[in-house]
Amino acid sequence: NAGVTQTPKFQVLKTGQSMTLQCAQDMNHEYMSWYRQDPGMGLRLIHYSVGAGITDQGEVPNGYNVSRSTTEDFPLRLLSAAPSQTSVYFCASSRRGDSTDTQYFGPGTRLTVL
């Protein structure tokens, strides 16, 4: 299994540009989520999904959209990038959304918005 994969690894955008961060998992996990990591703030949840066709907002959802058309994929869209969205983005998945399940993380996407 490849586990959780993310593309691209690095991206530079100009303010106002849009882009999609890709996330895929091959473990047949129902639960997937997106976090952003900023220095001194740990990881903060952006959006999550408990299964195909179901998404919900996390702690910091503004400026981001998600969809879950398949079990495997969970893309994160930035509609109009802002410098405040400069961060490292991690996708994670777990077998279910149960609180006891371990979440497995992808390698991350480092995004810079100029």
Partner 1 sequence: AQSVAQPEDQVNVAEGNPLTVKCTYSVSGNPYLFWYVQYPNRGLQFLLKYITGDNLVKGSYGFEAEFNKSQTSFHLKKPSALVSDSALYFCAVRTSGNTGKLIFGQGTTLQVKP
By CB under 8 A, tell whether 55 contacts partner 1.
Answer: no
What type of residue sits at position 25?
A: Q
For partner 1, the binding residue among 34, 48, 64, 74 (CB under 8 A) is 48
Say which residue the tokens 């001194």 belong to: 40
Using CB under 8 A as the binding rule, whether residue 40 contacts partner 1 is answered as yes
Cβ atoms 59, 66 nearer than 8 A:
no
Select the residue interacting with partner 1 from 58, 61, 63, 75 (CB under 8 A).
58
Residue in this structure with the two tokens 């893309």, named with its chain if needed: 75
Helix (H, G, I), strand (E, B) or coil at 53: coil
By the criterion CB under 8 A, which residues form the site for partner 1?
A: 4, 31, 33, 35, 40-45, 48, 50, 58, 90, 92, 94, 97-100, 102-108
